[in-house]
């Protein structure tokens, strides 16, 4: 039968924290008079709700895909999550009789659809001329989009940023939408994120100017890409939103084999997509790597890299000016990791400066530090040399980090950004990694 998931994987599917809570409350036998699972990878159940008829919930684990008769507009709804929690706990028994009719009909319809979809995936040989024409069209669209963005940015600087605080979200959403039309999704995302800057407190004007300036730099760099060295051109294009094909990646360079320490990870939500950023560091090579994984809202993110472990793996790096982003090509083994060697703040900043020289748009850099956290006058960490760095304002109170440290030095891994350190993992006295 399908391997039972663990609870973490189920809870990771939840669209938000309240859903996780209600699902856990609902994951009790009392609410589920009928449950069952099938070897082929399906779980179903009837849940007593506020309505007279029970809600009928069915999950196809291969997708995972799910369906529930409740009116909730969250996907997956609490019933799906609760049912999977019960299944993960071993409370749902395999039912050799198979699913009841209402579940069977949905499951078979899904299976039929999946079979139909299969032949389409064997890609028809593409017409190379058509491919080239489409690529050319896209370049033209991006070029005109970037020219428009450049004009828009200069208009902001001409009329003054002081008006920004009076603009609504639409001000940035409009230009972002035009970048989507111009097939430059990377720029659209950056622009949408700017809408909150004018209300981000003291220093907002400087932060907004920084972003506008770096955006124009990107527009100029694209216009003059022929003059750029190949890796920098790659970086410019990927930041604009050109995607890179895995096949090209593999042809580009040899994979790097190492024992990769899984240092930290951070999950972000961007425009209906969840992004998991996992930071690795090679024990032998000392190289930093960033592995991204994506999932639609409601789908589980990749759990294969666990913080605190060492993964023996082959990684291929994207051919960027500052090669950081990588793909896991093959994973050989996973062992419990020991804490990484923490560095000093001076080393961190020097490393970031070198990376910026290669890629001025880089705003997230892996940090592994031996530091003592402090709270006043701002949340900060300081190292043995007396150097200090502020924590990112977005991290909140960061109590677990302080509790773990108790005023003593502690090894912390996280992301260094221009606005402060975002701590993600700390190691306790026993050497166990604790996600913060």
Partner 1 sequence: MSTWQDLVTASLIGTERAGVPLAAVPGLPFPADAPGGPADPAALLLDRAALLTAARRGGRRAGRPEIGSAPLPAADPDPAPPVSQAAARRLARILRGEHPDLLAEWLAVAVARGRTAPAHLLPALLDRARRVSPADPELRRLAAEAGGSRARWLAGLNPDWRYVSAHTLADDDAWRLGDAVQRRGYLASLRARDPGAARELIAGGWAAAGPDERLMFVKVMASGLSLADEPLLEAALGDGSAWVRKMAAEVLATLPGSALARRMAERALGCLRLHQGRHGTRLVVVPPAQCDGVMQRDGISPGPSTLIRGPASQAHLVLEVLARTPLRTWTGEFGRTPAQILALPAGGWAPVLFTGWARAAIAQRDRTWITALVNWALAGGLPGTPSDVETLGELVRCMDPAFAVTGTAAGVLAAMLPGVREAINVLRFRYQMLKELHDDDSAG
Among 24, 69, 72, 285, binds partner 1 (CB under 8 A): 24
Interface with partner 1, residue 25, by CB under 8 A: yes
Interface with partner 1, residue 335, by CB under 8 A: no
Contact set for partner 1, span 391-410 (CB under 8 A):
399-404, 406-408
Asked if 309 and 280 touch (Cβ cutoff 8 Å), the reply is no
Pairing outcome for strands 34-38 and 42-47: antiparallel
292: β partners: 277
Among 381, 412, 413, 424, binds partner 1 (CB under 8 A): 381
SS3 154: helix
Interface with partner 1, residue 7, by CB under 8 A: yes
**C-alpha dist (Å) from residue 152 to 148, 178, 197:** 6, 11, 17
Residue with tokens 């069209």: 137
Closest distance of CB 266 from partner 1, Å? 17
Interface with partner 1, residue 428, by CB under 8 A: yes
Please, which residues have CB within 8 angstroms of residue 53's CB and are 6 or more apart in sequence? 69
Closest distance of CB 169 from partner 1, Å? 21
Interface with partner 1, residue 112, by CB under 8 A: no
Contact set for partner 1, span 298-317 (CB under 8 A):
none
**C-alpha dist (Å) from residue 146 to 185, 229, 340:** 12, 20, 42
Asked if 78 and 72 touch (Cβ cutoff 8 Å), the reply is yes
Among 2, 111, 147, 161, binds partner 1 (CB under 8 A): 161
Interface with partner 1, residue 227, by CB under 8 A: no
413: β partners: 368, 425
The tokens for 414 are 């996280």
Cα distance between residue 3 and residue 396, in whole Å: 37
SS3 81: helix
56: β partners: 46
Closest distance of CB 101 from partner 1, Å? 21
Is the CB of 156 or the CB of 278 nearer to partner 1? 156
Q: Binding residues for partner 1, how many (CB under 8 A)? A: 74
Closest distance of CB 69 from partner 1, Å? 20
Among 109, 230, 378, 384, binds partner 1 (CB under 8 A): 378
Interface with partner 1, residue 432, by CB under 8 A: yes
Interface with partner 1, residue 250, by CB under 8 A: no
Closest distance of CB 373 from partner 1, Å? 7
């Amino acid at each position: 039968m399908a391997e039972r998931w663990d609870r973490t994987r189920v809870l990771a599917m939840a669209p938000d924290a309240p859903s996780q809570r209600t699902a856990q409350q609902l994951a009790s036998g009392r609410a589920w008079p009928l449950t069952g699972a099938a070897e082929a990878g399906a779980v179903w159940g009837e849940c007593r709700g506020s309505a007279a008829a029970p809600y009928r919930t069915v999950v196809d684990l291969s997708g995972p895909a799910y369906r529930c008769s409740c009116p909730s507009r969250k996907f997956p709804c609490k019933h799906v999550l609760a049912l999977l929690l019960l299944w993960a706990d071993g409370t749902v028994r395999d039912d050799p009789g198979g699913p009841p009719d209402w579940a069977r009909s949905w499951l078979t319809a899904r299976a039929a659809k999946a079979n139909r979809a299969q032949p389409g995936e064997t890609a028809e040989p593409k017409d190379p001329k058509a491919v080239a024409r489409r690529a050319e069209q896209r370049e033209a669209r991006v070029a005109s989009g970037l020219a428009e963005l450049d004009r828009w940015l200069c208009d902001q600087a001409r009329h003054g940023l002081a008006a920004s605080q009076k603009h609504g979200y639409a001000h940035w959403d409009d230009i972002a939408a035009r970048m989507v039309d111009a097939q430059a999704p990377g720029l659209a995302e950056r622009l949408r994120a700017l809408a909150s800057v004018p209300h981000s407190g003291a220093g907002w004007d400087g932060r907004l100017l920084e972003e506008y300036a770096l955006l124009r730099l990107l527009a100029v760099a694209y216009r003059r890409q022929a003059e750029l060295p190949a890796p920098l051109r790659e970086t410019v294009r990927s930041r604009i939103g050109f995607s890179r094909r895995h096949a090209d990646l593999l042809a580009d360079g040899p994979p790097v084999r190492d024992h990769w320490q899984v240092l930290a990870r951070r999950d972000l939500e961007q425009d209906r997509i969840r992004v998991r950023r996992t930071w690795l560091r090679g024990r032998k090579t000392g190289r930093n790597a960033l592995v991204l994984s994506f999932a639609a809202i409601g789908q589980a993110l990749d759990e294969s890299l666990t913080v605190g472990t060492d993964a023996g793996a082959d990684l291929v790096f994207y051919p960027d000016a500052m090669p950081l982003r990588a793909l896991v090509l093959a994973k050989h083994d996973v062992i419990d990791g020991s804490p990484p060697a923490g560095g000093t703040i001076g080393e961190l900043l020097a490393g970031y400066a070198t990376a910026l020289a290669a890629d001025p748009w880089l705003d997230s850099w892996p940090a592994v530090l031996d530091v003592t956290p402090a709270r006043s006058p701002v949340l900060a960490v300081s190292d043995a040399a007396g150097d200090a760095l502020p924590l990112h304002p977005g991290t909140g109170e960061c109590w677990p980090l302080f509790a773990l440290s108790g005023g003593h030095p502690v090894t912390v891994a996280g992301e260094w950004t221009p606005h402060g350190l975002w701590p993600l993992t700390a190691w306790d006295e026993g050497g166990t990694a604790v996600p913060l």
